[in-house]
Structure 1
Amino acid sequence: MEPDHSEAVLREQIEQALLGDTPQWTAAQVAERSGATLEQTRRIWRALGFPEPTEDQPMFTDSDVAALAMLNGYLSTGTFTLDTLLNLTRGVGQTMSRLADWEVATLTPKVDDAADAGADATPLEQAMYLVQNMAGDFEKLLLHAWRRHAAVAVSRAEALATREENTPSVDLTIGFADLVSFTALTNEIGEIRIGDLVEVFESRCHDVVAKHNGRVIKSLGDSVLFVVDDAEAALDIADGIISVIGRDPRMPDVRVGLGSGGVVMRMGDVFGPPVNMAARLTTVARRNRVIIDEATAALLPPERFETRRMPARPVRGFGLVEPITVRRR
């Protein structure tokens, strides 16, 4: 089948509009112009989530050279070690890759609703419409949102550092919300319906968590992992998720597990026994119920909450555990 040259041209136009330039430099030329070694250039490029540059293929733009020169400046001045810089760029790359995938997959089909996009527009024509009409505004929104989140992150880090000066871990309550029978459901409804359902689940969970000053760490399709520094707020989040998901007849039921204790935070993720405990407890919880561990129960004011131990049962990785139910007095 002969390639559609008009699509190839449109694809180049989209890339040109987004990058603002045409790739013209090889990896070796970028290394020379940015002041980095060829190996550093390749490692940073891979950390950003892009494919390994070949020896002689021009795949870098002037903007790429400027970005890599900026990053190399942090290395040459000793501001960052290479490992720290790679962690930073890896985090940026993973975040931007997921956001870009979401934007293209979610927004492009909606272009049909815009009269001047054309009802019969191809995916590439839809993408071009987005680039021409929304890319600039979306870029401003990204920068604004990053600055706002950075301000919150600095305050959070300062508070955690003050509280935990002599330990690499911080005490948090971890929440894990899990859709019930999601695997079976995927076999019953179509891909589009599943995609819409997951989008509603994630967006509603994000809204509830943000309302109570928590933070969503990651979404895994049928589950959401969140953290908050107050156990009572974690319970408010759990109740809120059950309310907006489990009590909506159009959505599957949901189960929530809460675990508290010391966790290590790295590259935007959290690690430690409370994370695993929260996930394991969702297998114990009944539909549209929250189950907590003993550490979380100890943090709840007894005058406002009533807790009840369930029969001990084996929990993978923890041995015999007595899950705890909780309700407000």
Structure 2
Amino acid sequence: MSDETLPEGGDVARALLGQEPTLTAAEAAAKAGLPLREARRLWRTLGFPERGDERAYNEDDVAAIAAVSQVVTEGLIDFDLALNVVRGVGLSMARLADWEVGALIQRVEDAFVEDGGRGAAPTAAADWALERYGDRFEVILLYAWRRHLAAAVARIESTRAIDADPHTTDLTVGFADIVSFTALSNELSREKIGDVVEVFEARCGDVIAANGGRLIKSMGDAVLFVNADALGGFETAEGIIKVVGRDKRMPDVRIGLATGSVVMRLGDVFGPPVNLAARLTAVARRNRIIVDRETADLLPKDQIETRPLPARPMRGFGVMEPLTARRV
């Protein structure tokens, strides 16, 4: 790698975006055919700070703004719906970028130096990695998006076969969290606790997918997942306990399951079963599964044994009788 290809002055934008920023926000908006006010809203919704009158934009920014403008102009969606979609893109890509950098930066810097790069400047190393491997990561990104899009459409079709509202359906919702995570965080180093969270998320994700479920979101010390039926939810919960709670190198977990009608919006799920599943974890013993009555009634009695626990108040639900569930 020659000195001329190294980014100077820590210019991350030029190194990673591949173009000099030559346009102001007003100029970029005008070239994209969108009012400046709307262009600024798109920019903020993607999660980027405004740059005033600074020349901080390039032709790729124009192309992105123009693409949204054209879809709105052609009447497929209105601007508010476009903002909804853009918000999801921004949130997902921001997390993905942080995830990739956190996971790869040390290896990328080492490989950059091994290849003859001077020092281990993150910007120079990232530029080198993008030049060599960026197109392959883009293939994975597009492939995963298309696959997930196909799966999302299939879920909508399945829901519509049962209910006229594709956003509302009956699901079993699971909430799994690490026991005493705050205390654990105080005992372990930042590197160690990061490793625990990474392994917890990865193992939960594997189990959820293997049992036909869907990981809705991860919150570091907890995951929220859904399954189409109660038995699938139980088997997912059972699998998480097996690969996390039964591993002596990992902390214990608690899992709550609740079944009922949920609303699916913006990649998330909402409704009483979501809140109840989280509440049930608070009464679960270590490496145990606690379910609500609706879930218990749907579990096959010849495979799963449920036993009621003493009734107790559940915030937002009044007095309820949770049940333990275990395989016969």
Q: Same fold (TM over 0.5)?
A: yes
Q: Output the CA distance in 1 between the equivalents of 2:19 and 2:72.
A: 26
> Normalising by structure 1, what TM-score?
0.93
Q: Which residue of 1 aligns with 2:59?
A: 62
> Normalising by structure 2, what TM-score?
0.93
Q: How many residues align?
A: 322
Distance 1:15 1:34, change over 3 A: same
Structure 2 residue identity aligned to 1:96: M
Equivalences for residues 130-149 of structure 1 within 5 A? 130-149=129-148
Q: Which residue of 1 aligns with 2:27?
A: 29
Equivalences for residues 92-171 of structure 1 within 5 A? 92-111=89-108, 114=111, 115-116=114-115, 121-166=120-165, 168-171=167-170
Distance 1:122 1:24, change over 3 A: closer
Residue 75 of structure 1 and its aligned partner are, at CA, apart by 1.3
Asked if 2 retains the 8 angstrom alpha-carbon contact of 1:257 and 1:282, the reply is yes
Q: Output the CA distance in 1 between the equivalents of 2:92 and 2:188.
A: 29
Q: Output the CA distance in 2 between the equivalents of 1:208 and 1:305.
A: 19
Distance 1:167 1:205, change over 3 A: closer
Is 2:187 the counterpart of 1:188? yes
Structure 2 residue identity aligned to 1:82: F
Structure 1 residue identity aligned to 2:197: V
Is 2:309 the counterpart of 1:310? yes
Secondary structure (helix, strand or coil) at the match of 2:254 reads: strand
Distance 1:10 1:137, change over 3 A: farther
Cα offsets for 1:45-72 (capped at 9, x unmatched):
1111111231x21111101101111100
Distance 1:214 1:133, change over 3 A: same
Q: Which residue of 2 aligns with 1:280?
A: 279
Equivalences for residues 1-40 of structure 1 within 5 A? 9=8, 11-12=10-11, 14-40=12-38
Which of 211-220 and 131-140 deviates more? Answer: 131-140
Give the unaligned 5+ runs of structure 2.
Answer: 1-5
Cα offsets for 1:256-295 (capped at 9, x unmatched):
1101111111110111100000001111110011101111
Is 2:49 the counterpart of 1:51? yes
Asked if 2 retains the 8 angstrom alpha-carbon contact of 1:176 and 1:279, the reply is yes
RMSD over aligned Cα, in angstroms?
1.9
Q: Which residue of 2 aligns with 1:322?
A: 321
Q: Output the CA distance in 2 between the equivalents of 1:218 and 1:105.
A: 19
Distance 1:48 1:84, change over 3 A: same
What is the identity percentage for the equivalent residue pairs of Structure 1 and Structure 2? 53
Asked if 2 retains the 8 angstrom alpha-carbon contact of 1:10 and 1:124, the reply is no
Residue 8 of structure 1 and its aligned partner are, at CA, apart by 7.2
Secondary structure (helix, strand or coil) at the match of 2:300 reads: coil
Equivalences for residues 125-274 of structure 1 within 5 A? 125-166=124-165, 168-274=167-273
Asked if 2 retains the 8 angstrom alpha-carbon contact of 1:42 and 1:53, the reply is no
Q: Output the CA distance in 2 between the equivalents of 1:246 and 1:257.
A: 14
Q: Output the CA distance in 1 between the equivalents of 2:122 and 2:297.
A: 54
Which of 26-35 and 118-127 deviates more? Answer: 118-127
